[in-house]
């Protein structure tokens, strides 16, 4: 695929779902993928698969809520492969609940991972990309960055924030392409951490109109493979069966 081969692409949240599917797809297309997440046994196994298939990949444990760990993740990629062409800030969680359940620890985790995690990724790569004179930052928002639903207030707020941060960054960046990716409901492990029963039921319902993670990975591939003078600044992708629904 044009403009993908030999690029060093860092992916957070690469141990399952959209991040894993993207790592596998980009490696097939000749990119060098650097996978990050907390579950290293998963990362090790995905990297093993990619290498067995002739692809190039490495992994490093990273908790995106910790700015120093994200910095170390980016330094690891740069020291190992010499440069950083793309970061896909994709790690996220979705412990949905109604506001009056007062799950304040979960609210804080959403803020720390979904918002600060993306900021930490941006902070770690910007100096590197500015020095290189090129780069691409792709942030995973959601259709929940465009609409709010009951039990989704804090999660959607985090994704509205990712959208706003991405758009502001895009306006400030000259030689660095910025893409905000908003997938609709996708079949992954997202929501496994929901502790509110009603919210868990809602997610089960939404899953009946779900995209496959591979389809979202294709959208990432599209954004990276555009010519250098083309910025796919925003991509919204939904299941065709989501008619009548916001997500």
Query: Exactly one of 65, 119, 199, 224 binds ligand NDP (CB under 6 A); which one?
Result: 65
Residue 98 φ then ψ, to 5°: -70, 150
Specify the DSSP class assigned to residue 6: T
Query: Exactly one of 15, 22, 151, 239 binds ligand NDP (CB under 6 A); which one?
Result: 15
Q: Please report, to the nearest 10 degrees, the dihedral formed by the alpha carbons of residues 100, 101, 102, 108 taken in order.
A: -120
145 binds ligand NDP (CB under 6 A): no
Q: How far is the CB of 8 from ligand NDP (least distance, A)?
A: 19
* Catalytic site residue from 59, 155, 160, 222: 155
**C-beta of 94 vs 199, nearer to ligand NDP:** 94
Cβ contact 88:9 at 8 Å: yes
Residue located via tokens 């609409």: 147
27 binds ligand NDP (CB under 6 A): no
215 binds ligand NDP (CB under 6 A): no
DSSP alpha helices (H): ranges in 57-113?
A: 67-81, 104-110
Stretches 12-20, 49-57, 72-80, 127-135: which one binds ligand NDP (CB under 6 A)? 12-20
Q: Which two tokens stand for residue 37?
A: 């997440």
106 binds ligand NDP (CB under 6 A): no
**C-beta of 38 vs 245, nearer to ligand NDP:** 38
105 binds ligand NDP (CB under 6 A): no
Q: How far is the CB of 219 from ligand NDP (least distance, A)?
A: 11
Stretches 32-40, 73-81, 99-107, 121-129: which one binds ligand NDP (CB under 6 A)? 32-40
Residue located via tokens 């990273």: 62
Contacts of 61 (CB under 8 A, 6+ apart): 36, 37, 38, 40, 43, 69
Q: How far is the CB of 214 from ligand NDP (least distance, A)?
A: 11
222 is catalytic: no
Site for ligand NDP, residues 165 to 184, rule: CB under 6 A: 183
Q: How far is the CB of 19 from ligand NDP (least distance, A)?
A: 5
Distance from chain centroid for Cα 40:
17
Strand partners, 103: none
Say how many Å lie between the first and final Cα of the chain, rounded: 30
Cβ contact 75:125 at 8 Å: no
Distance CA 60, CA 234 (A): 28
17 binds ligand NDP (CB under 6 A): yes
Question: What residues act catalytically?
Answer: 155
Residues forming contacts to ligand NDP in the complex (CB under 6 A) are 12-19, 37-39, 62-65, 90-94, 113, 140, 142, 183, 185-186, 188-190
């Amino acid at each position: 695929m044009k403009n993908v081969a030999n690029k060093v692409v860092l992916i957070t949240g690469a141990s399952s779902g959209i991040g894993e599917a993207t790592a596998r797809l980009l490696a097939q297309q000749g990119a060098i993928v650097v996978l990050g997440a907390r579950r290293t046994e998963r990362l090790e196994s995905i990297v093993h698969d990619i290498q067995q298939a002739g692809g190039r990949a490495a992994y490093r444990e990273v908790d995106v809520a910790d700015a120093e760990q994200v910095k170390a993740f980016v330094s690891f990629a740069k020291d190992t492969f010499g440069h950083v062409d793309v970061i896909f800030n994709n790690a996220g969680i979705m412990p949905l609940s109604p506001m009056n359940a007062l799950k304040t620890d979960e609210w804080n985790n959403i803020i720390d991972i979904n918002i600060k995690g993306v900021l930490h990724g941006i902070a770690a790569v910007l100096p590197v990309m500015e020095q290189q004179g090129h780069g691409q930052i792709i942030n995973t928002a959601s259709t929940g960055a465009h609409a709010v639903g009951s039990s989704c207030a804090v999660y959607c707020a985090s994704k509205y924030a990712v959208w706003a941060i991405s758009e502001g960054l895009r306006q400030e960046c000259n030689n660095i392409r910025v893409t905000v990716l908003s997938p609709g409901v996708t079949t992954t492990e997202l929501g496994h951490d929901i502790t509110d029963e009603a919210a868990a039921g809602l997610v089960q319902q939404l899953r009946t109109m779900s995209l496959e993670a591979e389809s979202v990975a294709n959208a990432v591939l599209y954004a990276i493979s555009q010519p250098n003078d083309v910025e796919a600044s925003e991509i919204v992708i939904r299941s065709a069966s989501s008619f009548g629904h916001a997500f």
